[in-house]
Chain A
Amino acid sequence: MTGVNLHGIWAIYRFEMARTLRTLWQSIATPVITTSLYFIVFGGAIGSRIESIGDVNYGSFLVPGLIMLSLLTQSIANASIGIYFPKFTGTVFELLSAPISAVEMVIGFVGAAATKSIVIGLIILATSAFFVPLRIDHPLAMLAFLVLTSITFSMFGFIIGIWANGFEQLNIVPALLVTPLTFLGGAFYSIDMLPEPWRTVSLFNPVVYLVSGFRWSFFGAGDVDIWWSLGFTGAFLALCLGLIIAIFKTGYRLKN
């Protein structure tokens, strides 16, 4: 056998997708219900008292932020449990003894986690169409951001899954880091609405660039320049990929 272990990648991808399909209803129902609640609370109750942001009404303004919020949390959750669970149950021995490279393994795990996130993102988009008028100025860019963010944060989740030594640790990074950064990253507001110095501080929050870029693809305007957003997403993707390769080279938390 030479070249790429395509059968191996496909086996992992299918295995991970089967895991998702076993919990299909909860996979779909959760984001639909959560999104609906956000629209009722923020869009309906509070949003009616908030003026339009730029030329976009507040309800529509929420859509990219809400999708991004789910995308980040779902990608991390799916990918981290995907690799953590085999570590926990011991089945990881088979992955480690298989003739499959780090990159191939990541394509399988991350590909499946990202697929689920993308589907969830699209479901949220469809759900939001019931609540607010949808406007997508750059649909291709929107899809590109959707895919890129899902892949990047699935990789991040994969790293967390390898690092975690218990179910508690598995939740620490999403709960203590990702959720706050997302909430403070302009998911529900434009950072221009913040007083100084908080506006400047916000520019150090990486999630701002993701949300802003995604929002640009909807409304043609974001908090920061679109190239900054793209550049940042690409840089984070490269960082995660580098970390994963280092993990497999050194066997960190996988091998003795």
Chain B
Amino acid sequence: MPSILSISQVSKTYASGHKALDHVDLEIERGEIFALLGPNGAGKTTLISIICGIVTPSTGTILVDGHDAIRQPREARSRIGLVPQEIAVDMFSTVGSTLRFSRGLFGKAPNQPYLDEVLKDLSLWDKRDSKIMELSGGMKRRVMIAKALSHEPDILFLDEPTAGVDVSLRRDMWKMIGRLRERGTTIILTTHYIEEAEEMADRVGVINKGQLLLVEGKTELMKKLGKREMDISLVEPMATVPAELGEWHLTLEDDGHRLRYVFDAQAERTGIPSLLRKLSDLGIGFKDLDTSKSSLEDIFVDLVEHREASNEGAAA
């Protein structure tokens, strides 16, 4: 099946001369959850805004379900729902009326039962007749999501969905995303919280300074770049790492109470058995062992630094 969203060679240079996107290519599969990960100012929002028709690209083409977003905006846009980063909604309208407005704006015939369902899904049912200005910030954010869903989009964009969001809304949002995925909705979210991508996404794209550094299945990405750490809690604290343990490049943590060993989980020989043997040979007692995966955060920092280092190398 062809991808539901096909982005090729999209660049954007703003009037100020700032190059926000640099020849981005990206294919989004039907029904997947894709996380676009990058620091602030990386170009995430610009990319989303271009796909949704709010920003005009300098170059490149975008196909939404086979429809050119520039030449066939009607077909392309009616398939897309957007939840922007900022809360922007008419404060004087009621929750119910703003949903009917959004649905109509996107060219869909009224369907109150469907909108009622959206309201209930997002715990907005009790607030349906309230004016939006009377709602709390979290509730307003729910309204933004409800508006984006009001026209039954095939693709939902969530721009920084959990920025400044409380735990209950976060949980509701994950649940909602789960339900949407069951219905076959494609979801693209941007985030600079790595846990968010790690928790939800099928695939992750890493973007920095307008360039898409890599796109990879989340688990493959973790495997490929996943380093693991083993913390060894010592019975007796030590001042320095004994020279005999030099080959493992250990570091001392927690005032000498813990030894940390960083290893590659994919490597044929992890070095763990030999390390443990050596420890007992040296009579170093330990009471606990703890291994952990490196987070996407570490991976991301690695990637960006590696990239910058290689760029500098090329320039020199």
Interface residues of A (CB under 8 A from B): 1-2, 5, 7-8, 10-12, 14-15, 18-19, 22, 86, 89-91, 93-101, 251, 255-256
Contacts and interface: CB of A to CB of B under 8 A. Distances in A.
B90 interface: yes
B40 interface: no
Nearest to B144: A94
B105 A11 contact: yes
Nearest to A4: B107
Query: B-side binding surface: helix, strand, loop or mixed?
Result: loop
A1 B90 contact: no
Nearest to A2: B74
A19 B92 contact: yes
Contacts of B105: 7-8, 11-12, 94-95, 98, 100
A160 to B, nearest CB: 21
Contacts of A96: 52-54
B78 A99 contact: yes
Given A7-B109, A98-B105, A99-B107, A91 B88 contact: yes
Which bracket fits the contact residues of B? Answer: 35 or more
Given A89-B88, A89-B90, A10 B104 contact: yes
Contacts of A101: 74
B97 interface: yes
Contacts of A251: 56
B73 A256 contact: no
A1 B107 contact: yes
Nearest to A85: B90
Contact of B86 (A5, A90, A256): A90
B61 interface: no
B101 A256 contact: no
Given A15-B101, A99-B73, A93 B106 contact: no
B74 A93 contact: no
Which of A2, A95, A97, A255 neighbours the largest number of chain B CB atoms within 10 Å of its CB? Answer: A97
23 contacts: A1-B107, A5-B74, A7-B110, A8-B105, A8-B107, A10-B104, A11-B100, A11-B103, A12-B105, A18-B97, A22-B92, A90-B84, A91-B89, A93-B52, A94-B102, A96-B52, A96-B53, A98-B107, A99-B74, A100-B105, A251-B56, A255-B56, A256-B56
A97 B88 CA distance: 13
Nearest to B147: A94
A101 B77 CA distance: 11
Contacts of B84: 90, 93
Nearest to A89: B88
A19 B93 CA distance: 9
Given A255-B54, A255-B55, A100 B93 contact: no
B15 interface: yes
A11 B104 contact: yes
Nearest to B46: A256
Query: A-side binding surface: helix, strand, loop or mixed?
Result: helix
A93 B15 CA distance: 19
A14 B86 CA distance: 25
A251 to B, nearest CB: 6
A56 B68 CA distance: 62
B14 interface: yes
Give the 5 A-B residue pairs with the shortest CB-CB distance, closest first. A11-B104, A90-B88, A99-B77, A97-B52, A99-B78
B75 interface: yes
A7 B88 contact: no
Contact of B101 (A11, A22, A100, A255): A11
B70 to A, nearest CB: 12
A2 B108 CA distance: 12
Which of A8, A99, A101, A251 neighbours the largest number of chain B CB atoms within 10 Å of its CB? Answer: A99
B51 to A, nearest CB: 9
B82 interface: yes
Contact of A97 (B54, B90, B101, B103): B54
A169 to B, nearest CB: 20
Which of A86, A95, A256 neighbours the largest number of chain B CB atoms within 10 Å of its CB? Answer: A256
Contacts of A1: 74-75, 78, 107
A98 B54 contact: no
Nearest to A86: B90
A8 B14 CA distance: 30
A91 B53 CA distance: 14
A19 B54 CA distance: 25
Contacts of A91: 88-90
Nearest to B77: A99
Which of A1, A11, A94 neighbours the largest number of chain B CB atoms within 10 Å of its CB? Answer: A94
